[in-house]
Structure 1
Amino acid sequence: MCKILQKGLFLSSFTLLLLTTGITMANAQSIPVTKALKSVTKIFGTRFVYEKSLLEGKETKYDISHLKGKQVEAVLKGILYPEGLVFLYVKENYYTIIPREQLRESMIGAPRSVNPASSQLPANTGNSVERQPENTSESTKNGTEALSSTSAIRIVHGRVIDSLGNPLAGVSIHIVGTTKGTITDADGAYSLQVAPNAVLEFSNIGYITHKVNVGIQSNIDVVMRTNKTGLSQVVVIGYGTQREVDLTGAVSTISAKEISRDHSVINATDMLEGRIPGLFIMKNGGAPGSGSDMYVRGLSTFNNSSPLVVIDGIPGRSLDDINPNDIASISVLKDAASVAVYGARAANGVILVTTKRGTVGKPEITFSMNMINQRPTQIYKQLNSYQYVTLYNEALKNEDSYNPVVGSGWNDAQVQAFKDGTDPNHYPNTNWYKELISPSIWQSTYNLSASGGTENTKYYLSAGYVNDNGLTPVEGYKRYNLRGNITTTIARNLKLNLDLAGIYTKSHGEAVYGSEYVIGQVYSTSPIRVNKFTNGDYAFVPEQRGSAAQQALGQTGFNDNDNNVVNSNLSLTYDLPWVKGLSVKGLMAYDKMMGFKKSFAKPTDMYSIDASGNYTLVPGYPTAPYLRESYAQDYSITLQGSINYDNYFGSNHVTGMLLYEQSQENTDNFSTRRDNFVSAALAELNLGDPTRVSNSGTGSESARQGVVGRFTYDYKDKYLAEFNFRYDGSDIFPPNHRFGFFPSVSAGWVLSEEPFFKDAVPAVNFLKIRGSWGQLGNDQVNPFQFLSTYSLIGGGSYGGGYTFGGTNPTFYQSLNPNVLPNPNFTWERAVMTDVGVDASIWEGLLSIKADYFKKRTKNILAPPSGLTPDVIGISLPDQNSGIVDNSGFEIEITHRNDIGKFSYYISPNISFSHNKVVYFPESSSLPAWQKVSGKPVNFDPANGISAQPNPYLGQIGYHSVGLYQTKEQIAKGPTPPYSDVAPGDIEYADIDHDGKITANDMEVLDAHFFPGIQYGIKWGCSYGGLELNVLMQGAAEVSAYNTPANYGFGYTPGTFLLDHWTPANTNAPYPRLFLNYQNNQETSDYWIVNTAYMRVKNVELGYHLPQSWLHRIGAKQVLITVGGNNLLTFTKFKMFDPESAGQVRDPLMKSYTASLMITF
């Protein structure tokens, strides 16, 4: 491994040497501005109007060697601004060039007409096109403007605004057929001398050109619509960028503007749900600071299926830690063409996050705050104590065990006492949900950012704070974010990027059991148990000694978890002047995480009460305080060195990239515990009993190394081709299987650029067909399975090991082998195929993006299930044997339009994903209905992914055919698994047709714990300063195993139990009542419930204060927003929130939000 790292350091050093050498060899030559504009025209297809004399003698030092992938406006700024020139947008791909002074006069004074063209226009030499006026008269050719010799000239004035009512400055207005024109001032106002028969053309960058017949009008106000096609948008891809129009892979993006619409959540993962087709989000509950699991295009392995997260070019960083306010864009890479450059970690897709950077201009300061009120989306409806004891008695009678005399049940007087509620100490009615969980809590976020810069140095600085209170008294979460991104040109052709980010999080929870267990207690403690007696003391009940719920309510002790994270990037990019389009880049990233956890558990005083009302103190749990402390640190170093090429040869455009990357990660962990503290007043280790101590510590290191290549070709933006590869190595695998080659190829055909298509289908402005194929790897498996590993048993004061020595024995620890090594295990390998279509119709009014994909994952690591004799005494290693197919379809349709001042959009998306286990190593003696092969990869969010049939995961069980209604029905059917089956019990199918129900009748259940369909609908509108944005989201073909219902009285029964089978209620959904009755508690599909849902995920109503108000406070923008998240849910499953999959954990939250954003 050291040799690998040394080679990597050498290559990275070589890259930096090239950078240094390039500085000394650079020839800082200037070129004529006209020549630079010629290159712009060649690459972007732009045309220019300017006076010949304006550009004579002017030169630029702007590097035009590789313009592809840049925004044309940014290029023109670099060429023209240093020479005192500005450009005005005329219409699509047409610009007017004028002196800056002329623009300044128009912007700060009364608008005046400008004449940017004259008769001294140079001939068309290819570097620019000077647009001659349409229907020009002889006078205009000679340099004088003649509007009309027969019509009266008058002044037309007006104002130009956008769809939100904001004024648009710098809008170009020209008279069609002439070169006469003007521009709007800072308030969007203009005035212009025109003839009555004139036609005015209004144009601006990013907006659709608008034409107006003057007629007899003297005042013309215009609302400009945004350009909706977005085809020139630059998309972030692996190790680079591409224009949307050039993409041949399946990539979906979300912009900072769309991210900023959701003010109700605190992490970026939750903001993505329902917004991107093919991205499946599964929430991890509603605990403070909790995130979500992400899956791209479903499941295709038995192992980790999470996508790789890459933040600012560095793989492996956490999306939950980043401040959403700092995100500029998120790209989801879904097919082989887009993810192959990440090789062994890309089989499950890639999430690329790019943070904001500064732009040229004066400092822009933005402050925002969000106040969020949260409450559970669904409240679990528990039985009251009277209902509980009534149904409990009925269950005892069903089992022939009702006998109140010996304490088995309650007599009528006791039942009435529970109903009356007059003696809460002996006959309580405790709603543990309401006792522990607050009806609502407050959450707040604050953000402050500043950005700006010059042509040489740009900056973005930000700070953020999040305070997330928990629903229980012991839960809470705080997060602090700091970020500084700086870009500077330190020498000609040499650019430096420095990114620094700091994240500090502090969370707290229950000290003894943990917060998740506390929530479980809410659902498993019955209402007949006392929480507090009437005197305020906590009650002791033998069945619930040390109740976690009471521990949490008493807030004894603490459980604090502090984490500090630092992410840093430093990169240098040098454009080699002696080879056009060639550049080199070196990058180093250093990330460090330090975590400290301190948990101090103290006893909770509890009391018992006798029949006379006397209280007695009972020792609580723990009987004496104990302290646990743990420390963890993790640091990683990533080095990258790359060579990039981008150039045109006539109509041929070629790009190339070769990149070397290596990374190393080191982790260290230490934990200790001391018991029997002499005092609960101080939580310091030295106050614990030194004879009651346990320690543990671990450490690990890992490294990766890879070479990446990308080569693209396009001809006239019409025929597109791309080849990517990564040669990847990971020390997770044995030396002879450590490296793998992962290639991809893709192609695209832009039909809309074909002359025959343009003539035949003029309404379709853009149509591209694309396809890709590639091989990817997955190394997200248990590492080092090729080594013989051992666990150390025993040590300290806590069990394990052996003693030898007769009367004076000595304790010895022992080593236990973990698993037999497998010297041949290697990558899982996925083969992916994707076919897609991108279309834009009616000038962007309608856009469509659709993909069909197919994926086969081979060499999946799986245990040799059913093939290992028990006498071996040690587990056999995983083997590369499993095969899974996954296929699906996704589509997103967007419609945008402006009607006067009213703008609206709607964008539905839907994703289908279905998988099948092609092969899984299982015993040939298993009946077909118990084999996983041929069945879907199932997934239980509470327990993970498993292809192994497991009754405890609800993946194998009986097939139910309903409830028995009569004894005759029981007698005529197959023999039940238990002899005391009665009417009202669940009837199971005899799958093997042997006349009796046995374990052989269990089958792999037809359940979908992972949704087969997910969808979202984004829609919104704006009028004047008002703006409404709505997101609806849902899932279908999804189910959950209803564990609380299956356990019956094992959990606190909910009101669903009231509708149970009785002779008078034979159509009830719930079987006859039972306590520990095994027949109805057997795992079966009877307890699988449909959890499909649709919810109003997010609503935001915002109001932009009028510009006339903002001048008084010196603000550029003030936005006031109210909204909410998870506001309404439509589902047939009412017991829990359907997204929580029926698991007992922190409930998911709905929220109501008020937000303020001010920009100066």
Structure 2
Amino acid sequence: MKKFNKPRNRNGCPWRFDLKMKLTTLFLLVALFQVNASTYSQSTKIDLNLNNVKVFDVLNEIESQTEFKFFVDTKEVDLERMFSIKVKRETISKILERVFKGTDIVYKVLDKQIALKPGVKEENVDQSSTQEMGLKQLTISGTVVDDSGTPLPGANIVEKGTTNGVTADFDGNFSIEVADANATLVVSYIGFSTIEVPLDGQTSLSITLQESAAGLDEVVVVGYGTQKKINVIGSISQVSSKDIENRPVTQASQAITGQMPGVTVIQRSGRPGQSGGEIRVRGVGSFGADANALVLIDGIAGTMNDINPDDIASISVLKDASSAAIYGARSANGVILITTKSGSNKKFSVSYNSYIGVNEATELPEFANSWEYAEMYNIASGSTSFTADDIDRYRAQNDPDNYPNTRFLEDLFSRNGIQTSHTLTVNGGDENNKYYVSAGILDQQGIVPKNSFNRYNFRMNLNNKLGEKFELNSRFFGALEERKEPQATANKGGGFLDQLVQNAVRYPATFLGRDSQGNYGIGPESGGTPVAWLDSKSYLTNPTTRVGVNVKLDWKPNDDLVFSAIGGYNFTLYEERSYLGSQRLNEDVFLGQSYLNQQSNKTIFKTMQFTGEYSKEFGSHDFSLLAGYSFENEELSLFNGYRQDFASNDYTVMDLGSAENQQSGGYDAEWALQSFFSRLKYSIDQKYLFEATMRYDGSSRFPENNKYAFFPSAAVGWRISQEDFMQGVSWMSNLKAKASWGILGNQNIGNYPYQTVLASGRDYSLGGGLATGAAYANYKDANIKWESTETIDIGIESGFFDGQLTFNATYFNRNTTDVLFKPSASVSSVLGVGISETNTGEVKNTGWEFDLGHRGKAGDFGYSINANFSIINNEVVTLGLGNVEQPNGFVGNGSDLFIGYPMQMYYGYKADGVFLNDGEVDSWPDMSAVNPTAQAGDFRYKDISGPDGVPDGKVDPTYDRTYLGSRIPKYTFGANLGFNYKNFDLSVLLQGTAGVKGQLDGYAGYAFFNLGNIQTWQMDGRFDPDSPVRYPDYPRLEVLTNSGSANTETSDFWVINSGYLRIKNIQMGYNFPDAVNEILGIDNLRCYLGAENLHSFNSYRKGWDPEITGGGAYYPILTTYTFGINLKF
């Protein structure tokens, strides 16, 4: 039976109630529910004005206006019959008389429920007549939700063994009449496991459905459309809004970390507005061109920064050729499809999501106190630069103006940045018009003073049916963003936040920050310190405006054919003002001169696309063919200007600076891409699946003879679980084998790399004098072409016990040829000029992906586990023109690219501890080529090889450096754990990497580097000649210049394991019960506590996050503690 349910229509009520109001309200509610049902049916007046609509639509409209609910067996009542009606303030009885006049349909009214059934018309309805026509008298009500408490509108509730059934309304609520108090209800919902609920005398139920891990009816977003997961052959990973909601992520890239096999997200910084991660899909596929994945938002090219995470409905990552080849030239590094939320045909609803959070650094290195620094410096320098009296005064801290203990890094990261987010959403519509409108505000305060990121965003998504054959989908969005940062003063020269942080790492505690009279310390280079710079008028502001529209018009001339026209326009205006001001440190030191650099970068992206798709079922055969055309164009325009010597730091308008030495510049650029594509899908009995994709791309970035390229793919699948011989295997709900092959492209290089340009300033001799001339600055390859990536995928998908347990495994092989690469300097020296990108080189990524899912329930307790694990082997196959054979047998560029090894490798020495005394130096292989003054506490580098390929008693850079590891993780993994008990829920996201190396150098890695500081781990673990150990945590202390020493040569002491396991997110929530929501006049209220980047387990350098490498320009990744609410009206 079909039941029409009207969503509850609540009018909001005040937030506060006194006791008298509560009791009065309760009394009135009780009294109202006692009113005779006939009073409601007789007093309710209905207005209808419907022309040539289905009877179904008439009944639906009645439910939308009233509290009536219809019980209909669609096999007995024709709801497809067309009908017209126009009434004003008419009763339900008279309307139904008109609707069913001339038919054998009768209606029965009980309470506010109406049953429709063929039969003999009866004018007066009483209890006995109601029972005779089969309307049951025991009312069972309840709510159907998922394991997080989210209502499941449209869930089916059927009395077992009968056709008596209803569907849940928009809030998951239902009411069904049954005859037997011990009946059993069968509850089902698409994508969830069906369950049976014995009543056992209960009349009020709270039913929780577990999502079917098999997800066979789940819809997956693919290129230019969607597919049921059951029919997907390609390698696609998808997360929904449920997987990313309520997390304090400011950029969408952070939301997918650890949630997809084969997708690696590395977050290098927690800097507000710039904390998005590097996304790598199945390794790194190029060492010359950009390796970033293509990002499409509702089918239009964009970036992960272009969207508020709250507006995301799903994120799909296309990883293999069969899924990504539809995007051809830009898909070699994977494709990320972001789909935004849409309106529904349900009641008007308002949602408000908000959180407040506190940010702090995940890790901060600890530095020596001023007296400790002085003691260690004396040891390192072998002198008494600091006297015993100096050290005592530093330790006493009774004269901080002259003997300070300034904690520069701690003072810089001194605050707990507050982060708030507010998103208001309006959603609703009907069968013909749907709308989704959202507005959001994000305010993220950094842990550095004067550092913040703000975003104001708006989105409106509309879906409108224009008659029977046309449908218009419109997407409008806008965002205003602004990033603010402090800077160093003008004398530091481009002192951006990076340099400010780096010097806070560098400067030891012996330097004064600010004295008791308000004067600033001058620092080690008489240019001030971070304490002074933070108080200066220097600043950086970076406002960005984004506006876009995406319109899609569908024309469906018949049920099998649809034509679509798509138009997109994105406008981005990026502006930056960097002012380095003057500043007086004290009476004697003034820092200048001030200068302002200002730039404006405008980007306009336009696209138009046309597709046609024919889909048809012929018995057991399912066939579809998609064909399309796409044109994309992007125009870039940049202008920048520079002036110096501003009279006042308070007036930083470009026109107020000195015209002397002023500078200006700019450029315009443009690129375009034209494409033709098609896709064929065919299946038999939904068991044997086939798919082929073809794309023909033409890019302005390549010369005429190589402008176009063809990118094909093919895939096959076999749903073994659907075979007859598997029907007796009840415990296996799904088993599918699949394989794919294809070729993908990469055009992520400059706009016109094939054009040779002239450079001025190339003077030459003419007639005994010097004439100004121009010459070719470098060689350009006029035959440059696309990078091509051939991909092979073989996989299996399986599900057990109605999807309660799933396991998927995939093997992949990505081989990229014609890599766009600039060969090494040795090639340039032969040609006499530099050489630009050319197609030379090959790189391969092979590996495995696994994901495992399990869901279960015991009483009121439910749980879910979803884990993924990936193995990725990256290997340079050849550098082509860049192949340079090293004397030690390595072939490559001599630094980080060698044939047979991963990209981004470390190349250096193997260290076997340190010399315990000077006498050991003589008994070790000769190290004079590396360290001619080796002594106790210096590293013992191993003699690995020599001219004959065997150790030769000497250690030198030619033969004794080797592979030490790579910055590309070999293993990535993640696990999403979910638990719920009644109204409580808990989720934990774990994420990590292994088989990856990192190195901290410069101020971050070396003590006393270039007038730098010393960290406590270096101080405590240093080599001590009085109690020598072979493998100390740090070699002997020495004062280092900017060029380092023999002990700072790249070696496996410095290149260390940077793998980690991180508690990425943990969240506990509580859904308030319906009774409370009823009192408050709302649909749903959820509160939660959460923590992002809570803790990481690693063996990296103490105080440094394992995702951070480099020399000390370190803005730590942030831990964010949040409290939030989800409110729905």
1:1135 to 1075, 1085, 1103: 1103
- For residue 857 of structure 1, report the CA deviation from its aligned partner: 0.7
- For residue 599 of structure 1, report the CA deviation from its aligned partner: 2.3
Partner of 1:453: 429
After superposition, the Cα gap between the structure-2 partners of 1:222 and 1:669, relative to the gap in structure 1 and judged at 3 Å, is: closer
Partner of 1:475: 451
1:600 to 558, 569, 579: 579
1:1060 to 1015, 1022, 1030: 1022
Superposition pairs of residues 432-831 of structure 1, within 5 angstroms? 432-511=408-487, 512-541=494-523, 543-547=524-528, 549-577=530-558, 580-607=559-586, 616-620=587-591, 623-759=592-728, 761-790=729-758, 817-831=776-790
- For residue 362 of structure 1, report the CA deviation from its aligned partner: 2.0
Q: Aligned partners of 2:80, 2:918: CA distance in 1, in Å?
A: 105
Moved more, 590-599 or 740-749: 590-599
- For residue 869 of structure 1, report the CA deviation from its aligned partner: 5.8
1:970 to 892, 899, 921: 921
Q: Aligned partners of 1:376, 1:193: CA distance in 2, in Å?
A: 59
Q: Aligned partners of 1:100, 1:410: CA distance in 2, in Å?
A: 104
Identical aligned residues as a percent: 28
Deviations 1:120-171 (CA, angstroms, capped at 9, x unpaired): xxxxxxxxxxxxxxxxxxxxxxx98899xxxxx9958564554567888887
Q: Aligned partners of 1:208, 1:191: CA distance in 2, in Å?
A: 21
Q: Are positions 1:1069 and 2:1050 aligned together?
A: no
Does the 8 A contact of 1:164 with 1:1023 survive in 2? no
- For residue 241 of structure 1, report the CA deviation from its aligned partner: 0.8
After superposition, the Cα gap between the structure-2 partners of 1:144 and 1:753, relative to the gap in structure 1 and judged at 3 Å, is: farther
Give the SS at the match of 1:693. Answer: strand
- For residue 788 of structure 1, report the CA deviation from its aligned partner: 1.1
Give the SS at the match of 1:1086. Answer: coil
Letter in 1 for 2:1013: T
Aligned residues: 1012
Partner of 1:980: 933
Letter in 2 for 1:748: G
Superposition pairs of residues 861-940 of structure 1, within 5 angstroms? 861-865=820-824, 867-868=826-827, 870=829, 872-921=831-880, 922=882, 924-932=884-892
Q: Aligned partners of 1:801, 1:676: CA distance in 2, in Å?
A: 34
Q: Aligned partners of 2:537, 2:572: CA distance in 1, in Å?
A: 29
1:1098 to 1065, 1076, 1086: 1065
After superposition, the Cα gap between the structure-2 partners of 1:259 and 1:813, relative to the gap in structure 1 and judged at 3 Å, is: farther
Q: Aligned partners of 1:1046, 1:179: CA distance in 2, in Å?
A: 73
TM-score, normalisation: structure 1: 0.82
After superposition, the Cα gap between the structure-2 partners of 1:813 and 1:467, relative to the gap in structure 1 and judged at 3 Å, is: farther
After superposition, the Cα gap between the structure-2 partners of 1:663 and 1:652, relative to the gap in structure 1 and judged at 3 Å, is: same
Q: Aligned partners of 1:1013, 1:343: CA distance in 2, in Å?
A: 28
Deviations 1:190-242 (CA, angstroms, capped at 9, x unpaired): 57554588655455666544445677x47574634235132111111011111
Q: Are positions 1:339 and 2:324 aligned together?
A: yes
Q: Aligned partners of 1:853, 1:181: CA distance in 2, in Å?
A: 47
Give the SS at the match of 2:725. Answer: helix
- For residue 961 of structure 1, report the CA deviation from its aligned partner: 2.2
Q: Aligned partners of 1:1062, 1:457: CA distance in 2, in Å?
A: 77
Q: Aligned partners of 2:105, 2:751: CA distance in 1, in Å?
A: 64
Partner of 1:413: 389
Letter in 1 for 2:1057: N
Q: Are positions 1:956 and 2:907 aligned together?
A: yes
Partner of 2:970: 1012
Partner of 1:307: 293
Does the 8 A contact of 2:76 with 2:118 survive in 1? no
After superposition, the Cα gap between the structure-2 partners of 1:100 and 1:1151, relative to the gap in structure 1 and judged at 3 Å, is: farther
- For residue 957 of structure 1, report the CA deviation from its aligned partner: 2.1
After superposition, the Cα gap between the structure-2 partners of 1:344 and 1:892, relative to the gap in structure 1 and judged at 3 Å, is: same
Give the SS at the match of 1:343. Answer: helix
Give the SS at the match of 1:539. Answer: coil
Deviations 1:692-713 (CA, angstroms, capped at 9, x unpaired): 2011111101111111110000
Does the 8 A contact of 1:341 with 1:725 survive in 2? yes
- For residue 678 of structure 1, report the CA deviation from its aligned partner: 2.9
Q: Aligned partners of 2:539, 2:764: CA distance in 1, in Å?
A: 36
Letter in 2 for 1:850: A
Deviations 1:766-807 (CA, angstroms, capped at 9, x unpaired): 1111110001111112342211124567xxxxxx99999x9x
Superposition pairs of residues 389-400 of structure 1, within 5 angstroms? 389-397=374-382
Moved more, 414-423 or 495-504: 414-423
- For residue 1085 of structure 1, report the CA deviation from its aligned partner: 2.1
Does the 8 A contact of 2:1091 with 2:1121 survive in 1? yes
Partner of 2:90: none
After superposition, the Cα gap between the structure-2 partners of 1:585 and 1:997, relative to the gap in structure 1 and judged at 3 Å, is: same
Deviations 1:482-541 (CA, angstroms, capped at 9, x unpaired): 111111122331111111110111111234511111111111112111111221211224
Give the SS at the match of 1:962. Answer: strand
Give the SS at the match of 1:427. Answer: coil
Moved more, 588-597 or 551-560: 551-560
Moved more, 432-441 or 635-644: 432-441
Does the 8 A contact of 2:967 with 2:996 survive in 1? yes
Does the 8 A contact of 1:1093 with 1:1138 survive in 2? yes
After superposition, the Cα gap between the structure-2 partners of 1:1106 and 1:705, relative to the gap in structure 1 and judged at 3 Å, is: same
After superposition, the Cα gap between the structure-2 partners of 1:1073 and 1:340, relative to the gap in structure 1 and judged at 3 Å, is: same
Q: Aligned partners of 1:1046, 1:202: CA distance in 2, in Å?
A: 61
After superposition, the Cα gap between the structure-2 partners of 1:391 and 1:950, relative to the gap in structure 1 and judged at 3 Å, is: farther
- For residue 752 of structure 1, report the CA deviation from its aligned partner: 0.7
After superposition, the Cα gap between the structure-2 partners of 1:230 and 1:60, relative to the gap in structure 1 and judged at 3 Å, is: farther
2:980 to 1016, 1022, 1028: 1022
Letter in 2 for 1:345: R
Q: Aligned partners of 2:1121, 2:469: CA distance in 1, in Å?
A: 50
Give the SS at the match of 2:660. Answer: coil
Q: Aligned partners of 2:608, 2:215: CA distance in 1, in Å?
A: 34
Does the 8 A contact of 1:664 with 1:704 survive in 2? yes
Q: Aligned partners of 2:830, 2:879: CA distance in 1, in Å?
A: 23
Partner of 2:35: none
**Unpaired stretches in structure 2, ≥5 consecutive residues:** 1-50, 58-70, 85-97, 121-130, 488-493
* RMSD, matched Cα: 3.6
1:55 to 59, 78, 81: 78
After superposition, the Cα gap between the structure-2 partners of 1:165 and 1:327, relative to the gap in structure 1 and judged at 3 Å, is: closer
Letter in 2 for 1:559: L
Q: Are positions 1:1047 and 2:1009 aligned together?
A: no
After superposition, the Cα gap between the structure-2 partners of 1:1054 and 1:929, relative to the gap in structure 1 and judged at 3 Å, is: farther
Partner of 1:856: 815
Letter in 1 for 2:258: G
Deviations 1:674-694 (CA, angstroms, capped at 9, x unpaired): 112233331122222112201
Does the 8 A contact of 1:159 with 1:167 survive in 2? no
Superposition pairs of residues 130-145 of structure 1, within 5 angstroms? none
Q: Aligned partners of 1:252, 1:366: CA distance in 2, in Å?
A: 28
Deviations 1:639-695 (CA, angstroms, capped at 9, x unpaired): 101111111111111111111001111111111111122333311222221122011
After superposition, the Cα gap between the structure-2 partners of 1:60 and 1:919, relative to the gap in structure 1 and judged at 3 Å, is: farther
Q: Aligned partners of 1:549, 1:1122: CA distance in 2, in Å?
A: 35
After superposition, the Cα gap between the structure-2 partners of 1:1037 and 1:537, relative to the gap in structure 1 and judged at 3 Å, is: same
Q: Aligned partners of 1:154, 1:660: CA distance in 2, in Å?
A: 60
